[in-house]
Amino acid sequence: MTDCIFCKIINKEIPSYTVYEDDDVLAFLDISQVSKGHTLLIPKTHVADIFEYDAELAARVFSKIPAIATAIKQHDPAIKGMNLLNNNGKLAHQTVFHSHIHLIPRYEDTEVDGFGLKWQTHEADFDQEAFQAMATAIKNRLEEA
Ligand code: 5GP
Ligand code: ZN
């Protein structure tokens, strides 16, 4: 896509710090470095968000996460954990509409802002029946797919 910043990064029209590349994906350091080593994994095929993947593309992209995550973790022994984050849609804080997965290393003493995500718990709004109905409805959709 011509005016997509991440397509431009894939095409080397915009420089980036590549950490991994193959026929299907590119992983590069996020400019914002929410924590040291913050990396983005993107498909080379332009898809805006998770809703535009098919299972085959998802397999080719998401299957790369463990190796890249492990390499990031191993590059600095101070990394004790990692958040994987994939924002989909403006409401979900997506700002670049070429799908990407954030790999955000976590260090013992580093506070990491949750990308504006404010969790509130709502379990009190749902009784067992409502939980079961939601689960059944989602399961039915999957079985129909
Ligand atoms: P989102 O909010 O869509 O989940 O995340 C978009 C991410 O892309 C942000 O963390 C932002 O720092 C990163 N980003 C935006 N433009 C560029 C760029 O030109 N180069 C790199 N390396 N990262 C970018
Ligand atoms: Zn793109």
Give 76-88 pLDDT, tens digit per residue: 999 999 999 999 9
Q: What is the whole-number distance in angstroms between the Cα of residue 36 and the centre of ligand 1? A: 15
What is the total count of domains within the chain? 1
Range of the domain at 38: 5-117
Look up the CATH number of the domain holding residue 34: 3.30.428.10
* 54 Ramachandran zone, left/alpha/beta (phi>0; psi -120 to 50): beta
- Residue 135: inside a domain: no
- Residue 76: inside a domain: yes
Long-range contacts of 122-128 (CB under 8 A, 24+ apart): none
- Residue 21: inside a domain: yes
Q: Is the CB of 45 under 6 A from ligand 1?
A: no
Structure tokens at 47: 């898809």
Predicted structure pTM score: 0.92
- Residue 138: inside a domain: no
- Tens digit of each residue's pLDDT (9 = 90 or more) over 8-54: 999 999 999 999 999 999 999 999 998 999 999 999 999 999 999 99
- Residue 75: inside a domain: yes
- Residue 142: inside a domain: no
Which residues line ion ligand 2, judged by CB < 5 Å? 1, 4, 6-7, 46, 98
- Residue 65: inside a domain: yes
Q: Is the CB of 31 under 6 A from ligand 1?
A: yes
Helix (H) or strand (E) holding 82: strand 79-85
Query: Whose alpha carbon is nearest atom 17 of ligand 1?
Result: 31
